[in-house]
């Protein structure tokens, strides 16, 4: 499946048929834009994405998200292609953006910006008594 033409290029995002099978990726890395977009669409904050991918920096993360917003046809086609590849390999596709399940990004407790919260999946976090 060939992806649609990128209508609005961005300085930190590249599309190369020889890298990641033509999926848009962040320049200087092999991080696909669809991964950052999926995290963001599922409610992961930009700060948390930056902690997961510190090598990218804010400019590249924001530019990748802007690319996804400016090129929705490319992102939809890329995510569908990933689902088809996973299905053909006998694996379950990732959760769709906006679905009820959300994957918690792994961080050790006490890391900067974590405010000392324990690294417990969202569904298992204890509720605070008021």
Decide if pLDDT at 9 tops 80.
yes
Say what the pLDDT of residue 119 is: 47
Contact 63, 69 (CB under 8 A): no
Nearest-CA neighbor of 32 among 44, 20, 40? Answer: 20
Decide if pLDDT at 22 tops 50.
yes
Say what the pLDDT of residue 68 is: 97
Nearest-CA neighbor of 24 among 72, 74, 59? Answer: 74
- Provide CATH code, domain 13-94: 1.10.10.10
Instruction: Give the HSE-up count for residue 21: Cα atoms under 13 Å, Cβ half-sphere.
Output: 9
Say what the pLDDT of residue 85 is: 87
What tens digit of pLDDT does each residue of 70-110 get?
999 999 999 999 999 889 888 876 655 444 445 565 665 55
Say what the pLDDT of residue 4 is: 84
What tens digit of pLDDT does each residue of 50-69 get?
999 999 999 999 999 999 99
Segment 21-38 shows an average pLDDT of 95
* Average pLDDT along the chain: 81
Decide if pLDDT at 126 tops 60.
no
Parse the chain into domains and list their residue ranges: 13-94
User: Which pair of tokens denotes residue 98?
Assistant: 């906006």
3-class DSSP state of 26: strand
What is the rounded distance in angstroms from the CA atom of residue 12 to the CA atom of residue 59? Answer: 8
Say what the pLDDT of residue 117 is: 47
Please name the residue that has the structure tokens 């700060």. 47
Decide if pLDDT at 8 tops 50.
yes
């Amino acid at each position: 499946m060939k992806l649609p033409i990128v209508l609005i290029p961005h300085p930190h995002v590249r599309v190369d048929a020889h890298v990641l099978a033509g999926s848009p990726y962040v320049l200087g890395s092999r991080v696909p834009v669809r991964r950052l977009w999926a995290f963001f669409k599922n409610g992961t904050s930009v700060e948390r994405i930056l902690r997961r991918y510190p090598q990218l920096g804010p400019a590249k993360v924001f530019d990748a998200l802007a690319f996804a917003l400016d090129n929705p046809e490319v992102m939809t086609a890329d995510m569908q292609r990933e689902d088809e590849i996973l299905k053909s390999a006998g694996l379950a596709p990732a959760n769709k953006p906006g679905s009820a399940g959300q994957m918690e990004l792994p961080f050790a407790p006490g890391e900067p910006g974590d405010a000392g919260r324990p690294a417990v999946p969202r569904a298992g976090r204890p509720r605070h008594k008021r």
